[in-house]
A and B are shown apart, each in its own frame.
Chain A
Amino acid sequence: MKKLSTFIFFFIVYQNVLAQLNSGSRLTALGNASVAMEDVWSATANQAGLAALAHPEIAAAYENRFGLQELSTKSAVFAIPIKNYVLATSFISYGVESYSESKSSLSLARKLGPKLHLALALNYHQLRINQYGNAKSFSFEAGVQYQLNKSVVLASHIANPNQSEFGNLTEEVIPAHIQFGMSYWLSKQLIICTEIEKILDKEVDFKSGLEYQIADFLALRGGLNMNPFKQYFGFGLNYQQVKLDFALSSHPTLGYSPQISLGYVF
């Protein structure tokens, strides 16, 4: 009984926020301050970050939110550079058999000159509640990154600007949001990223993260969100073409959420 009520509680607290919530362990450990970052997981954050990709890359992640199996998120992403473009697909699924949400996306990113990256993404959302039915919808996202100088990248990203919804079946909405931020390389080993995010009907959130490449094969990461207040910690291991990342996020009331992701660069 207790488990069920916690379960319901989490749904109430955490519905509607799927879209921005799983971007692989590296970007998660940076407090999801990912708008100005370049990573294969940019496919689920700011797709403009994909444009810098030089080789095809595949990755998958699993998050166990607040230690509850019912709240696990699975995601996968694949990206391939083709001439001046980078094409990527991603898939996120959240929930259990009785309640599940998923999002599949197709993104296209392009370099415009040496400094500017642009991207567009088309998403297909599915919501399924047992014995109630299914709902489907489409939405789109757009992102831009601009290399201000050798060490600073400015970026912004919007999602679902036309506020598409699931229709009359449910009041569940696909969040419309806007993010902008900056990443700053302070040395070859150290990057700090920040992001301001506004989701419609929610308070503004300020996010920041730090990654420190302590050795060639090991990176340490940390991040913070202000609203709601959350702390993040993580590390990443590189071995030849394989990447293994781990992230732990901590909410003062709800507890810890571990996440792991594995990637391969072709």
Chain B
Amino acid sequence: MMILWSCFAAYSFGQQSSDPVIENIIETLAANQSEDFDYSELIDRLNNYRKNKINLNKTSREQLQELYFLNPLQINALLDHIAVNGKLIHVLELQSIDGFDLETIQRLLYFADINTPSGFENFSFKKLFKDGRNDLMLRYNRYLETPYSYTIPDTSSKSRYLGTPERLYTRYRFSFSNNIQFSLNLEKDPGEKIWNNSDRQSGPDFVSSSLYIKDLRRFKKIVVGDFALQFGQGLTLWSGLSFGKGADIFSVAKQDLGLRPYTSVNEFSFFRGLATQINFGRFDFTPFISSIRLDAGIDLNPLTNAEDISALQQTGLHRTANELNNKGRIAQTVYGGNLQFNEGKLSLGLTAYHSHYSQNFAPGNSLYNQFDFSGNQLNNVGFNYSYTYRNTYFFGEIGHSLNSGLAYVNGLMSSLSPTVSLVLFYRNYQKDYFSFYNQGISEGSNAVNEKGFYSGLQIKPDRKLEINFYADVFKFPWLKFRVDAPSNGYDVFSQLSYLPSKTTRLTFRYQFQNKQQNADRNTVTDVLGFVKKSNYRAEMAYQINKAFSLRNRVEMVQYHEEDAKIRYGFLAYQDVNYHPLSARLSGNMRFALFQTDGFDTRIYAYENDVLYGFSIPAFQNKGVRFYLNARYNLKRGVDFWLKYSYTQYNDQTSVGSGLDLIQGNHRSELKAQVRFQF
């Protein structure tokens, strides 16, 4: 008991200024994400719960799902425990709940407690402004070297960046308790203009804003402005933040959060309009309507001579004349609703929506994409379920795009013994299943044209050891880009974590992937060859005293394409973290060495950043990288962050490509950020 208690204490004092807990959660989830994804929504939510802790005695399934690191079995066990035994009286009670190991409890108590005030209980308008919290943050960052684009004279007709080379980000939040939140984001990417003045838009490049009201009588949620919708297992309608296969084997069972305000600066996959969730006893109804302009490339249709959409553009970059021209080129209207039924451990959901585009999508002109969506409107319907029976959680969804294909998933998660959990997951996505908001679990980049079976196992023989393992087998029944025949493959992952003491963690990871793609041979028609990729990782993190902790990692990749030489990639780094208990200054630094045989053997590694600036850069070629990241707390409510990073590439005379090309063998970046809380 005492040991456990002191662990909680260590967590709640030692890590006030930075957030290794939050970083750890996101890093586990984000294993398969692209490098510049904006996780601020999740970081924001977790930070918010760190300050306004969840009251476990008054919490709901949905609120616990928002924490992401609790799996459905654990959530059920906790809610069950409270329903059967009454309110939790002491946090130590959590130990007696099935599936709650020490680390889970530590993490949970970081964001939750058993006795905190919540909700509109003491609401008044006077208090709204007195107890309301304002949070204003400004960020500036840029590469210190001048990219090629800025050496092109203004008079030249060549494509070039029309804006300034820095990234600017302004973020404002107002919140009252957990019930009213207002959010405003303004952003421009490097190369974009500070102020756009075009026919379609005048103002900052990206503006996103939302007002979110929770638990107002029957209205559980109301969002005006930008919002995200997440239902079921993500086949029919899931926008915004989403995770795929990763180190957390339970992540294949998606935990839908329904309606959310959209607060990220990813300039894609969100809605703009009005949405609300209304509660009628066991039923929850979520109607929504959205109208927004999307970036798209255009092609002339040779038959009709009309302009067709060649592709939607998701990067959110509007730097050159051409990119600006594609900005907000088409209008999208989406409306529909979701009806959810919850009774005990059973949950059923029905989703239907209509989406309309101001122009037609061009039909695919290659064999591999001939089943892609064409036309300008689409109706989607979906049904999802989840049910817990004893120690097993069942879940699934079926989605259908009217007049075209079908997609479905079914899975289960079971705690076979107190130390062993199993996940089984089957998916089948037809080649002509269309949904613009489909984020189902998949091996391919889209959850379409794929069948697969995933089995995962987690073993925790004692509180020091954890083994995660999964094997995923998949088939692509139709052709894919650069794969000129139906193909198949598999993916095997294993990770062992060992915590010899509460401040030391060792992690070993091995992943093997075997897929097929067009072989690099001189044959008349393309034939498929295998591509095998092995990934080895070892990591050690430990605390040396109250202020300093160290972390190092080595990682190796082996990439074997049929008929080609085996290629290797290697990365090693050393982190030093400085987080004294109550000093104003804290920070961290890293020195990394990398050597890879090109792009295919690149290695991703998450790195510390300024608050909300989570990044997972890819390392390729040969060189060293160094960064220094510091936070300074000027006074209560005023914080500064500064990050400087420097990457040197050996044997190179330039870095980057195209308009981003920098002369020389190095690239350095400066990031500065200030936050006011009042």
Contact = CB atoms under 8 A, between A and B. Distances in A.
Interface in A183-237: 186-187, 189-190, 192, 210, 212, 222, 224, 226, 229, 231
Given A212-B416, A226-B492, A252-B490, A231 B471 contact: yes
B422 A187 contact: no
B419 A186 contact: yes
A192 B461 CA distance: 12
A187 B417 contact: yes
B492 A189 contact: no
A190 B473 CA distance: 24
A229 B457 CA distance: 17
A19 B384 CA distance: 47
A192 B473 CA distance: 21
A231 B488 CA distance: 14
Contact of B471 (A186, A187, A190, A224): A224
B453 interface: yes
Interface string B434-463: 000000000000000000010101010100
A234 B408 CA distance: 24
A253 B530 CA distance: 13
B418 A187 contact: yes
Nearest to B455: A222
B490 A229 contact: yes
Given A231-B471, A252-B473, A210 B419 contact: no
Interface residues of A, number: 14
Given A186-B459, A222-B455, A252-B490, A229 B417 contact: no
Contacts of B490: 229, 252
A239 to B, nearest CB: 23
Interface in A142-193: 186-187, 189-190, 192
Given A210-B422, A231-B453, A231-B471, A190 B492 contact: no
A190 B459 CA distance: 12
B514 interface: yes
B420 interface: yes
B417 A186 contact: yes
Contacts of A222: 455
A231 B453 CA distance: 10
Contact of A189 (B417, B455, B461, B471): B417
Interface in B444-494: 453, 455, 457, 459, 461, 471, 473, 475, 488-490, 492
B473 A186 contact: no
B147 to A, nearest CB: 45
Given A192-B459, A210-B422, 10 more contacts: A190-B420, A192-B457, A210-B416, A222-B455, A229-B490, A229-B492, A229-B514, A231-B453, A231-B473, A253-B488
24 contacts: A186-B416, A186-B419, A186-B420, A186-B459, A186-B461, A187-B416, A187-B417, A187-B418, A187-B419, A189-B417, A190-B417, A190-B420, A210-B422, A210-B457, A212-B422, A222-B455, A226-B492, A226-B512, A229-B492, A231-B473, A252-B473, A252-B475, A252-B489, A253-B488
